């Protein structure tokens, strides 16, 4: 019994010491086209001058997990270093015909659909490796989508701190209140990743949440 307590104490102590030195793995999750890469790009550009990935109006633009190491966020004299992990959007269905609407050729659309399905699988696999997750939702869409609830449920089951971002609040149709009402137990920040609106509040909440790791 005493040995067990001692072992747990040292394990916790080493974990804390180790955690202080390494970068926090910060994941960006959410449905396709919610603005995960746009937000990750904004953060990376603000603090490293470089972007993490390409953005597009066509869903499933990010089809592979993208990283940016050693992103040091400096906010109000506080500093934290993150490993940013931008993941492909999670969906329950992918139809190549949806891409044809964007004037894509059939072959190209089929290839995009194929790689998009692989991207979803990769995103799900990566859930286990996250230390903190920002869930990016499109504030113009219905937040009660089951994909959102499934992602959050999985993070809660893994005891990973979650911050919900209601993106695209610059658009008329956007409703921050709807997102807040859908997830009353979580921190919800309304932003516009495209224009940088309310990004300060995002950093503030991110720092606050990092204490839960």
Partner 1 sequence: MVKKKKSIKKIRGFSIQFLPYNEIANLNSNERIKKILKIILGNNILILQGKLKPEEEARLIGDTMVMIGHIKNFKGIELAVISGNNKNQGFFNKFKTNLINALSKGDLGAVTIIGPATIVKDIKKNPKKIELLLNK
Q: List interacting residues with partner 1 (CB under 8 A).
A: 90-95, 113-114, 117-118, 120-121, 124-125, 127, 142, 144-147, 149-151, 153-154, 156-157, 181
Shortest distance (Å) from residue 156 CB to partner 1:
7
Nearest-approach distance from CB 62 to partner 1, in angstroms: 15
Angle separating helix axes 36-47 and 199-210, nearest 10 degrees: 90
CB of 166 to partner 1, least distance (A): 16
Of 24 and 91, the one with the shorter C-beta distance to partner 1 is 91
- Nearer to partner 1 by Cβ, of 175 and 198: the residue is 175
Whether residue 114 contacts residue 133, with contact meaning beta carbons closer than 8 Å, is answered with no
Q: Which residues of 43-55 are buried (b: 16+ CB within 10 A; e: fewer)?
A: bbeebbeebbbeb
Using CA of residue 77, residue 73, residue 127, residue 147, what is the dihedral sign?
A: positive
Cα–Cα nearest to 131, from 11, 27, 36, 31: 27
Specify the residue, 76 or 107, whose C-beta has the smaller distance to partner 1. Answer: 107
Q: Strands 187-190 and 162-167: what pairing?
A: parallel
Residue 163 beta carbon to partner 1: minimum distance, rounded to whole angstroms: 18
Residue closer to partner 1, measured from CB, 90 or 174: 90
């Amino acid at each position: 019994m005493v040995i067990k307590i001692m072992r747990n104490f040292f394990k916790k102590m080493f974990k804390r010491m180790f955690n202080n030195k390494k970068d926090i793995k910060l994941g960006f999750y959410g449905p396709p086209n919610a603005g995960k890469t746009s937000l990750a790009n904004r953060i990376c550009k603000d603090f490293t001058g470089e972007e993490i990935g390409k953005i597009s109006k066509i869903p499933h633009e990010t089809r592979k997990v993208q990283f940016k190491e050693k992103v040091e966020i400096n906010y109000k004299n506080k500093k934290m270093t993150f490993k940013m992990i931008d993941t492909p959007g999670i969906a329950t269905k992918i139809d190549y015909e949806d891409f044809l609407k964007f004037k894509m050729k059939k072959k190209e659309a089929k290839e995009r659909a194929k790689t998009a399905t692989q991207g979803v699988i990769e995103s799900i696999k990566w859930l286990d490796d996250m230390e903190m997750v920002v869930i990016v939702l499109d504030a113009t869409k219905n937040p009660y989508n089951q994909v959102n609830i499934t992602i959050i449920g999985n993070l809660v089951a893994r005891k990973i701190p979650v911050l919900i971002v209601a993106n695209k609040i610059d658009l008329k149709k956007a409703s921050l209140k709807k997102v807040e009402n859908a997830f009353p137990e979580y921190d919800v920040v309304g932003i516009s990743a495209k224009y940088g609106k309310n990004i300060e509040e995002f950093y503030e909440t991110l720092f606050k949440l990092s204490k839960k790791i």
